[in-house]
Amino acid sequence: MSGSQRLLRVCTRKPVATLASVAAVVSLFLAVPPAHAAPPANPSRQDTINAEVACITAYAADPANNYVNYAPAIGAPEVTDAIHSGLQPCASFADDSSGKKNIHHVGRKYQVAQYLSPTVYPGQIQMIIQGGPDAAFLIGGAPGTPIPSYAGGPYVARFNPTTGAQIWRTSLPLAPGQWVAAPSGAVVKGGWVDVVIGPTVYKLNPKTGAIVASAQQPVFAGAAIDANFDGFAVAPDANGTILLKSQNRSAGCTIQGNQAMSQCVAQYGPQPVTTVVAIDPVTLKNIAAIALNQAVISRPTVVSNKGNTEMYLSGNTQGVRVTWNPKTKTLSQDLTWAPSYLLPGQNPGDAPVPVGDWVVFNNNAFPTQGVPICAVAVRMTNAADIHRLCPWGTTLPTGVTSNAPASFSSDPQKSLIFMQDLLVGGVFAVHLDQASGEMVAKWSRPDWRTSDYFTAVGPASHRVLSSQYMNPNFIVGQVSNNSWTESVLWVDEATGKTLAQSAYNGPTQLGWMVMPSYAGRFYSMTTNGTINIYVPRACATKGKPRVPAPSITTCSTDYAALPQPVAYPAPRP
């Protein structure tokens, strides 16, 4: 899982923003032009969508793209492909003026229109999942950090993908006293909406929202009301077996939200060890379950290997591998594959990212002082073959904190990894040599501060990378009161040069992502419970701009004056 809720817990102990800085932030909010309630009609929208649907259907049919048993749909990294790559080659960035799709040029100029959903979703939105161009869903009401004014509980909603307006909403029942942490889910083969809250998995009818099946999973250590099965994964086997692992709250603790995993330890003792389960995708009944040798907080990624499915996890100090054998219907922890991936002083990482024959770990899902984040590549077939790249160096100045609320992202077609550190700042694009495991930074953006995943859209020759872009005046104290501002940045994946940047708006959920959708739309989830909808557009070569956009990049922007990619040395605070 992402580390954003843990970040919030730690950052509340740090000095809050001064009155002057808060006033500056308020003025920025007031300066942002209001978003339109709905995008204007686009005559070419259906042509674009038809091309995207044909593309993603073919892409998902290739097992090498890790889409087996997921709905063949464009969407967010954690809820589409099994390795959480963030790669969506069938999604559109912006239409070229000639009418071609998915083509961008660094020399062209782009602006970004933005819209706001008319529906405000109570209890905030935790996740958006998509099953196709007209099948957009969200999970809400289960915030990783509790909202004192909200007691309505978790739910699933279907929304209009163009406007963000709610179509239906279904509440999910919980046992009394159930611990509620950040949820998990996906749209699976057949279009079913599967969602996990606590120890229970739910299957919903995508058209009506009716719950058609539900099943509570076994928990080996601790009580069921203290367990949250997170990191929805679907095995690439013949049945589409669902694989989940538990997070656990210490027995006796009543704190809600993700911070319970750390705040309860001093009073109630350590967290129970993690349970891994295999679930029938039709009935949701448990097929197999095992207890790991430790408590694991991060979410899993899975890959196929000789008919089996391997689940990779970031353990307390070592990488963890669990094998699902669909023939024998058994789960097992592979204790021979346990690479050490932390330097002294680093904290455990978020979900590891498989890239070809390698698994790449990050670190510091918990805020960590003194030691920055590194990328650690471990060969799947040899846990002793380890390579490390630390582009921020191996030490930080006194008092500087490092944190990665979200996993690294990847472009597995190009063996690229994208690294980020919210509190130190800076983004690196890194190439992983599949033969040797060596990693080399291709470009760096010291100005780019993000808590989120990255998404890469478009064909290999014209690929666009995007993520949250925190306002350069960001200070750590703003995390505790949601007072920062942010935009969305789109860059040329090959060079890191800016293509488009939205206006600065209010905060969105930390540790999640800017999510690609259909017809060139991108979504983000605000902390107010609304959906931001962004639509980048190329400026026309002649005549007036096609889209009036309240964005940072416009048709008159001097792109040479924008922040540029740099090489080493690494960015410093």
pLDDT at 18 over 50: no
Query: Which pLDDT band holds residue 547 (cuts at 50, 70, 90)?
Result: low
**Residue range 467-510, pLDDT digits in tens:** 999 999 999 888 878 889 999 999 999 999 999 999 999 999 88
Structure-token pair, residue 536: 């980048």
Residue 391 confidence (pLDDT): 95
* Residue scoring higher pLDDT (25 or 555): 555
Segments of 421-530 assigned E as strands: 427-432, 439-445, 455-457, 464-470, 486-492, 498-501, 515-516, 522-525
Specify the DSSP element, H or E, that contains 185.
strand 184-187
Please state the length of the chain. 573
pLDDT at 74 over 60: yes
pLDDT at 385 over 60: yes
* Residue scoring higher pLDDT (548 or 18): 548
Structure-token pair, residue 196: 């996990």
pLDDT at 23 over 60: no
* Residue scoring higher pLDDT (261 or 45): 261
Residue 168 confidence (pLDDT): 98
State what percent of residues in the chain have pLDDT above 70: 87
CB neighbourhood size of 266 (10 A): 8
Q: Which CATH code for domain 4-561? A: 2.130.10.10
CA distance 417 to 342: 18
Average pLDDT estimate for 219-234? 94
* Cis peptide leading into residue 281 (ω within 30°): no
User: What are the DSSP calls for 246-279, one per residue?
Assistant: EEEPPTT----STTHHHHTHHHH-SPPPPEEEEE
Identity of residue 105: H
pLDDT at 321 over 90: yes
Ordered alpha helix ranges (H), 105-233? none
Residue 532 confidence (pLDDT): 96
